[in-house]
Structure 1
Amino acid sequence: MTGTAINPDDLPFENSFAELPPAFYTRLMPTPLPSPYFVAASDKAAALVGLKAAELATDDFVAVFTGNSVPPRAKPLSAVYSGHQFGVWAGQLGDGRAILLGELKGMAGPMELQLKGSGMTPYSRMGDGRAVLRSSIREFLCSEALAALGVPTTRALMVTGSDKGVIRETVETAAVVTRMSPSFVRFGSFEHWFYRDKPDELRTLADYVINTFYPELTAEENPYKALLAEVTRRTARLMAHWQAVGFMHGVMNTDNMSILGLTLDYGPFGFMEAFNSGHICNHTDQQGRYSYANQPQVGHWNCYALGQALLPLIGSVEDTEDALDAYRPEFAARLDDLLHAKLGLATTLESDRELFDAMFKLMQDSHVDFTLFFRQLGNLRIEDTGNDSVIRDLFIDRTAFDAWAVEYRQRLRLESRGDCERKAAMDLTNPKFVLRNYLAQIAIEKAQNKDFSEVARLLAVLERPFDEQPGNEQYAALPPDWASHLEVSCSS
């Protein structure tokens, strides 16, 4: 497609997933919402499929991306999958409130477009098939925020709303978020066929994923082992990215894990504020399975669940474990690279791990704001302690910070870069702006009163997280006292 205006009926959808056998999905139409309206769109996401945010605000596009009108070339469907939820086998799940329209080709290759909140499907179980404005805005903003941070993720094209009531903890209004990804196949998609003892379907799905998304693996002696190894590496790198920006997913079930190593299914997510390695962002997660500190090992556990599902294709336990062995070194190497960048270190020493560990202990003891600390760290000068007051005041135990800063400065003296060059590099990896819960809440409350301007303003800020953005300092501020009462759960 070109960047010129297009009639939504002319959207050139292709449908590779729909070409799989019927057992993999149910063909169905979205359920219309009454009087849908435009909430927000991402110009950067739209550009990936040759569209523009301005044209998405028209009534015809709102109808398509609410599910009230289906373009002729789309083949709407909901996919079946299963999964482990909170470590327990949950059996069949599937797209309970999402309908895939098809894929559009763009500058980054084909992207599937999926309507989340578009009505009940055969996989809804006891759900209503709807999404609410609150959670749709959160997913929209965070998808685009993580993309701007350089974290692998699905994207969010737009949000539409309707005044139709939806019951959660209270009565809320309905919304649909159109999300995009090269594929929405999950670890649980493979588990579904393994636990049903359907080897033919398992192989069909694996071949589809390899041929479509990992064609280079067809030349491998054991392409299924190679698939597991590559997905394991991608997942490990994703976990390192999450840890490095302080992102917590909240529901790392195997049905929420992307076969492409992308952040998938935004629910009760959160960005770390007052640092606590044991922080649980999901109010539903009473046992803390998906805490910040546990995310890397849960990512590894999920890869083992995928390995179990692929075992019949790989052929041996030894080969499966060999593929899974890629996780720990990949995670460690990627996180090490990211931490060195965050501290402005261009070289690596064995003693750096001690410096990092002492830093995180210091942050934990004083519950220092994660994002502010790393951003302010770039302002520290090697030979001048007189400008330390801003970062120093983040700490309860300022003397402990002073002692660590002495060690950090000694390490910086072993580098060849000066203060200005190092700060410039650190500012490219330590964001000034992240999607804090309270910022999302302010935008949501205005949107619930039909004022969508703050959603657009916040999106514009989050799309440039590393820039100083004079005039937008309030979006980088510590959360206000009232924000401490905000909670997100699996209904979010």
Structure 2
Amino acid sequence: MTTQELAAGWSFDNSYARLPDVFFKKQLAVPVRAPQLIILNEPLASSLGLNAQSLRSAGNVDVMAGNRVPEGAEPLAQAYAGHQFGHFNMLGDGRALLLGEQITPQGERLDIQLKGSGLTPYSRGGDGRAALGPMLREYIISEAMHALGIPTTRSLAVVTTGEKIVRESLLTGAILTRVAASHLRVGTFQYAAALGQPEALRALADYALQRHYPQALEAEHRYLALLQEVIQSQAKLIAQWMCVGFIHGVMNTDNMSISGETIDYGPCAFMDTYDPATVFSSIDRQGRYAYGNQPSIGAWNLARLAESLLPLLGEDEERAIEQAEEALKQFGEQYHHEWLRGMRAKLGLFHAEDGDKELILDLLGLMQTHRADYTNTFLALTFGQAAPGDLAAAPEYVRWQERWRERQERQPESAEQALELQRSSNPALIPRNHQVEAALSAAEEGDLSVMGRLLEALADPYAHRPQQCDYAALPEPSNLPYRTYCGT
């Protein structure tokens, strides 16, 4: 390896590999023919303590393709289980390998994972590979989420493999290098509980506490504290999704991170026209994971986590169940608090009043009735512009605006302060589905400039720069619903 390749700055310390070996299988990635770097996230690389120039070298492109193992890495596939559309399965990383945990210059511990790196013992009949389009899609959406201020895994790089993979047609193979606080999932705990090995479950819970919630280690009931911490982080995360119109698309328990990050960007998308029943995923035929169902699904998933933790909550099973149920009740309260706080901010409201929920729900009802765009309606309210579509001319909307202005005038903060709160709470743009698709189509043809311009616009969504206006434009009307696919 050359000096430049050695200078990348990889600094691994692999605590997950020190868990009981039932939680993983160590293995190398399946080599690929001709890796080529497609995109590199230089700001993220810098924050990780990595040298972007060195990452572009042939040796480090090999690292991100799985052809070479950097010093200190211990590649492994993680085991986990999950309820997929309500049905329990024993799962695991079927097309991903955890290289290890990068220790950043700030002392953070972050997973470095290769997604699309080939067959593992958990592949379940799949080919272990990924296509370029879905990997670039995850890159775009995860980086947009980060810029929106929503906890998320991030994308360091995408490389093509020089090989084709078979889906409905032959597609360009690719590997995403993903960065995460960890890849511990609700499904990891379900897996541990299903093994029937109490000490393995306890080791996993202690590890999750040490890695993500060390403040809870000294609690009188540390495992109950773990459940409470995860409930709180998920309540806040899902409220943030709802406030920007994000639809995860596949909220299986194996896609819910213990750390409170958004993870696994498969058939996800952002809503245009406001409708709680909006579904984009091609595989969600019953609408289980529709936009409006996300809070209740979050609660359902957390109940599965609580079930998995029951053996650690005490020897008295009845008392353990009572404690878990009491903790789960907190989710609804915390979600409601976080959602109301976020929606108040979108309307420039600093403090709580009893009628705020009604005011917000009335607006959302009007948006649904008049098929108004979610993001652009809040932008119109922020900048005093006409509401999108038929909403602007609706008499009931005019009356609603009068109520809203009266509500704003009752608060001590100035109109300028309210405007600044709205500007910082209502993004100028989201990754519009038609623009993401245009960027992916161009990239698959070898033109990365469309994606580059989109990423630049999405990088600071609260800047409200004039050049971002084009990316707030709505798609042309279509009789066909927009559909997204998981890519496996």
Shorter-chain TM range is over 0.9
Distance 1:238 1:445 in 2: 31
Match of 2:468 among 472, 477, 488: 472
1:117-128 equivalences in 2 (<5 Å): 117-128=116-127
Residue 442 of structure 2 is aligned to residue 450 of structure 1: no
**Other-structure match for 1:460:** 456
- Note closer, same or farther for the CA distance 1:23–1:395 as it changes in structure 2 (3 Å cut): same
Per the alignment, residue 383 of structure 1 pairs with: none
Task: Give 1:346 deviation, angstroms.
Answer: 1.1
Q: Answer yes or no: is 1:344 the counterpart of 2:348.
A: yes
How far apart are 1:110 and its partner, in Å? 1.1
Partner of 2:322 in structure 1? Answer: 318
Correspondences of 1:401-420 after superposition (within 5 Å):
401-420=397-416
Alignment check: 8 A CA contact 1:114 1:178 kept: yes
| Equivalent residue letter for 1:480 | E
Distance 1:5 1:58, change over 3 A: closer
Tell me: CA distance 1:183–1:50, structure 2 relative to 1, closer, same or farther (3 Å): same
The 3 A distance-change label for structure 1 pair 272 and 247 is same
Correspondence for 1:41: 40
Aligned to 1:60: 59
For 1:161, the equivalent position in structure 2 comes to 160
Distance 1:9 1:75, change over 3 A: farther
User: The residue matched to 2:466 in structure 1 has which SS?
Assistant: coil
Structure 2 CA distance for aligned equivalents of residues 407 and 108 of structure 1: 49
Matches within 5 A, 1:45-444: 45-90=44-89, 92-106=90-104, 107=106, 109-315=108-314, 316-380=320-384, 388=385, 390-391=386-387, 393=389, 395=391, 398-444=394-440
The CA RMSD measured in Å over matched residues stands at 1.9
Give the letter aligned to residue 11 of structure 2.
Answer: P
State the Cα deviation string for residues 221-256 of structure 1 (Å, max 9, x = none): 110000001101111111101101100000000001
Distance 1:475 1:16 in 2: 42
Matches of 1:340 and 1:472, distance apart in 2: 25
Look up the equivalent residue of 2:91 and give its one-letter code. Answer: L
User: 3-state DSSP class of the match of 1:326?
Assistant: helix
What is the identity, as a one-letter code, of the residue corresponding to 1:447?
A
Amino acid at match of 2:231: T
Shift of the alpha carbon at 1:162? 2.8
CA gap of 1:11–1:18, structure 2 versus 1, over 3 A, is: same
Give the alignment's TM-score, normalised by structure 1.
0.94
Alignment of structure 1 residues 18-33 onto 2, 5 Å:
18-33=17-32
Cα separation, 1, equivalents of 2:54 and 2:424: 32
CA-CA distance at 1:348 after TM superposition: 1.5
Opposite residue 343 of structure 1, the aligned amino acid is L
**Cα distance between partner residues in 2 of 1:442 and 1:431:** 21
Q: Which moved more, 1:435-444 or 1:269-278?
A: 435-444
Q: What letter matches 1:240 in structure 2? A: A
Q: Which residue of 2 aligns with 1:384?
A: none
Question: How far is the alpha carbon of 1:392 from its aligned partner?
Answer: 5.6
Q: Percent identity?
A: 38
Q: Distance in 1 between matches of 2:272 and 2:208?
A: 37
| Alpha-carbon displacement from aligned partner over 1:99-126 (angstroms, at most 9, x marks no partner) | 0000111136111100000101000001
Equivalent residue number for residue 317 of structure 2: none
Secondary structure of the equivalent of 2:65?
Answer: coil
SS in 1 for 2:334: helix
Preserved contact between residue 392 and residue 401 of structure 1 (Cα < 8 Å): no
State the Cα distance separating 1:397 from its structure 2 match: 5.3
The normalised TM-score by structure 2 is 0.94
CA contact (8 A) 1:8 1:71 kept: no
| Cα shift readout 1:399-435 (whole Å, capped 9, x = no counterpart) | 2221211211121221234433322221111001111
Decide whether the 8 Å contact of 1:14 with 1:104 is kept in 2.
yes
Residue 332 of structure 1: CA displacement?
Answer: 0.8
Offset, 1:483: 9.7
Q: Note the C-alpha offset of 1:55.
A: 4.1
Secondary structure of 1:391's aligned partner: coil
Which amino acid in structure 1 is aligned with residue 24 of structure 2? Y
**1:448 & 1:163 partners in 2: Cα distance?**
13
In the alignment, the residues of structure 2 paired with residue 80 and residue 63 of structure 1 have an alpha-carbon distance, to the nearest angstrom, of 25
| 1:40–1:456 contact (8 Å) kept in structure 2 | no
Q: Is the 8 A contact 2:8 2:55 kept in 1?
A: no
CA offsets, 1:260-283, max 9 Å, x none?
111011100010101111111212
Query: Which residue type is aligned with residue 40 of structure 1?
Result: I
Q: Find the aligned partners of 1:219 and 1:403 in 2 and give their Cα distance.
A: 53
**CA, structure 1 residues 55+402, in 2 after alignment: closer, same or farther (shift >3 Å)?**
farther
Q: 1:446 to 1:55 in 2, by over 3 A?
A: farther
State the Cα deviation string for residues 5-45 of structure 1 (Å, max 9, x = none): 76267622111111112211000001122211111122332
SS in 2 for 1:23: helix
Amino acid at match of 2:285: Q
